Structure formats: structure tokens, C-alpha cells
């Protein structure tokens, strides 16, 4: 049985992904995941609250990275350029997790409980970005609007990159934010 907490978490995550792909989410229990990882069910629950959470473990790391990046942008920078800069800081993390993300995507698409969790994760990131913008002095309504629009723009860039790897993710981010800017200017 592995002793290192990070190694146990990694083994549980890999076991969950394998089992979800083999059997489906609904036919896999926390006990099944623990057994596949070579640990006890009790160990599983020391690391994860439930079998959904084993799939979304990187949320805290991404949230901390993005909010820290927002805080580090020079004062006076407008909210959407601030968010674009923060999302650029997340690119290495996204690229590093790509092999797992690509494997788990079909499981999420096929599983309502995981779709719900993905939406909750997205909402939590929007709330954290709203708070980070407010900490920079952006008024609440504008901070919330920019956080939501920024997160949606980021998601579009990720989807574009997933279907077209001829350009890197940073290029797709810049294009998506530029498209947003052009459309906003067209409203004037």
C-alpha cells in the first residue's frame, strides 16, 4: 500500500478513470476504486468526499493559480485584460493535465452527475474570479460580469484548442479575447 498522500491520490484518480471508462460511472463504487488502487475504502474517503470528487481534484490548484495571477496583474489594468493574463498563467497546468482531461471528457459527457459537478466547478471558479477582481477594486456588478464572460471566453479557447492543435492554447486564448473585444466594440 502506498504511503505518500500524493501518490495515493494519483492512484485513486487513475483507478477511477479506468473503472469509469470500463464500467461507467454509475456502476463503479468508491470501494471498487479503492480496490483497483490497492488501498482500503476508508483510505479513499480520507482523500475524497465521494466518487465525483476523485474526478475534479485539480479545482483548488486552478482556482489558486488564477486568483493569484489576477492579484499579480499591475494595478489599473482593466478586468478582461487582467483575466486574459491570468488565463495565460494557467496554460502550463492545462497542458500538463491534457492527457487525463482528454480521457475523462467522454465520461463527463455521458454522466449527468459529473456534468453537474463540472458546472459547479465552473461556477466556483467564476465566483473566485469575481472576488479576485473585487479585491482589485472592481465594483461587484462589473466584476461578476467580467468573471463570467472571461470564464466563458476561456472555455471557448479551450474547446477551439481541443479541435485545432495547429496553434497553441495561448494563441487560442488571444483570439477568443480578441473576438470578444471586437464584438463589444461593434455594440457601440
**CATH 1.10.10.60 intervals, the chain:** 5-54
Residue 131: what pLDDT? 98
For residue 188, pLDDT over 80 is answered with no
Neighbour-count burial for 146-163, b at 16+ CB within 10 Å, e otherwise: bbbbbbebbebbbebbee
Looking at residue 38, the DSSP 8-state letter turns out to be: T
Q: Taking residues 115-132, what's their average pLDDT?
A: 96
Q: Which CATH number fits domain 5-54: 3.30.460.80, 1.10.10.60, 3.40.50.300, 3.40.50.720?
A: 1.10.10.60
- Over residues 138-171, the pLDDT tens digits come to 999 999 999 999 999 999 999 999 899 999 999 9
- Looking up cell 477568443, which residue turns up? 176
CATH class for the domain made up of 58-186: mainly alpha
**CATH 1.10.357.10 intervals, the chain:** 58-186
Query: Which cell numbers hold the place of 170?
Result: 495561448
Query: Which cell numbers hold the place of 35?
Result: 480496490
- Looking up cell 472592481, which residue turns up? 138
- Over residues 25-75, the pLDDT tens digits come to 999 999 999 999 999 999 999 999 999 988 887 788 999 999 999 999 999
One DSSP character per residue, 79-120 reads: HHHHHHHHHHHHHHHHHHHHHHHHHHHHHHHT-HHHHHHHHH
Query: Which cell numbers hold the place of 95?
Result: 497542458
- Cα–Cα distance for residue pair 56/153, rounded to 1 Å: 21
What contacts 136, CB < 8 A, 6 or more positions away?
70, 71, 73, 75, 79, 82
Q: Which of 180, 187, 114 is nearest to 152 (CA)?
A: 180
Amino acid at each position: 500500500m502506498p504511503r505518500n498522500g500524493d501518490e495515493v491520490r494519483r492512484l485513486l484518480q487513475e483507478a477511477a478513470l479506468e473503472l469509469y471508462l470500463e464500467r461507467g460511472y454509475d456502476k463503479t463504487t468508491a470501494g471498487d476504486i479503492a480496490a483497483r488502487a490497492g488501498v482500503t475504502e476508508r483510505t479513499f474517503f480520507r482523500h475524497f468526499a465521494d466518487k465525483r470528487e476523485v474526478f475534479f481534484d485539480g479545482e483548488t490548484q486552478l482556482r489558486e493559480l488564477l486568483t493569484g495571477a489576477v492579484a499579480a496583474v499591475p494595478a489599473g489594468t482593466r478586468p478582461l485584460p487582467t483575466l486574459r493574463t491570468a488565463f495565460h498563467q494557467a496554460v502550463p497546468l492545462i497542458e500538463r493535465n491534457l492527457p487525463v482531461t482528454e480521457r475523462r471528457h467522454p465520461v463527463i459527457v455521458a454522466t449527468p452527475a459529473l456534468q453537474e459537478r463540472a458546472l459547479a466547478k465552473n461556477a466556483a471558479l467564476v465566483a473566485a474570479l469575481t472576488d479576485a477582481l473585487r479585491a482589485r477594486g472592481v465594483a461587484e456588478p462589473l466584476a461578476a460580469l467580467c468573471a463570467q464572460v472571461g470564464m466563458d471566453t476561456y472555455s471557448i479557447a479551450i474547446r477551439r484548442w481541443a479541435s485545432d492543435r495547429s496553434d497553441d492554447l495561448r494563441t487560442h486564448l488571444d483570439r477568443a479575447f480578441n473576438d470578444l473585444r471586437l464584438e463589444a466594440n461593434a455594440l457601440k
